[in-house]
């Protein structure tokens, strides 16, 4: 096993891990799956898939974005974005409009129903998270609350890497 360095990963159980991050990616992935499951239980009538909700959320946050831009932002194939947008448009969740001076280009916007779907999904996630947090001991709740700024910074750093034209050094 190689020794950890300040700038590189160390081998652990056949996989490379950055010092101090053991379990972090797994924990975040597990939390994300648990939140999706919990939100489905809290809002069983929601007809939208997680992929539709994530894309709809991105459209809500970035109104006027073009499908190609959305595909790059979400690291999705353009045809996948088109398929999801078509389904959302058929449900009255998304509108398409000609983009400014280029009538061939399309800009996307969430309708009121689309925005409501996003708000309902976010509220279901928040309710599940609130209930789960209330079941934890106070020291763990304080630790998680104190970690929120670091989690926001981590998300911003991951977004920054994802926006790079090529994968950063050390990534496959």
159 inside domain: no
Segments forming the whole domain that contains residue 51: 33-136
Domains held by the chain: number: 1
What distance separates the 2 farthest-apart alpha carbons in the chain? 58
Q: Are 94 and 59 in contact (CB under 8 A)?
A: yes
pLDDT tens digits along 64-83:
899 988 998 888 999 999 99
End-to-end CA distance of the chain: 20
20 inside domain: no
150 inside domain: no
How many other C-beta atoms are found inside a 10 Å radius of the C-beta of residue 82? 16
Indicate whether 7 pLDDT > 70.
Answer: no
pLDDT band at residue 2 under the 50/70/90 scheme: very low
Q: Where is average pLDDT lowest: 16-30, 117-131, 144-158?
A: 16-30
For 96, list phi and psi in degrees, rounded to 5. Answer: -115, 140
Indicate whether 14 pLDDT > 70.
Answer: no
Report the CATH number at residue 68.
Answer: 1.10.10.10
143 inside domain: no
172 inside domain: no
Beta bridge partners, 94, equal 110
pTM: 0.73
């Amino acid at each position: 096993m190689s020794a950890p360095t300040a700038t590189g990963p160390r081998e652990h159980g056949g996989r490379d891990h950055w010092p101090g991050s053991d379990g972090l990616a797994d924990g975040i992935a597990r939390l994300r799956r648990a939140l999706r499951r919990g939100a489905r239980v809290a809002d069983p009538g929601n007809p939208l898939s997680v992929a539709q909700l994530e894309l709809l959320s991105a459209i809500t946050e970035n109104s006027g974005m073009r499908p190609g831009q959305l595909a790059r932002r979400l690291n999705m194939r353009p045809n996948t974005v088109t398929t999801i947008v078509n389904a959302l448009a058929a449900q009255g969740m998304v509108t398409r409009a000609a983009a400014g001076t280029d009538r061939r280009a399309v800009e996307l916007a969430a309708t009121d129903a689309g925005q409501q779907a996003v708000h309902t999904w976010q509220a279901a996630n928040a309710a599940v998270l609130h209930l789960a947090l209330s079941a934890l001991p106070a020291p763990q709740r304080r630790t998680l609350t104190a970690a929120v700024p670091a989690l926001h910074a981590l998300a911003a750093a991951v977004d920054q890497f994802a926006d790079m034209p090529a994968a950063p050094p050390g990534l496959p």
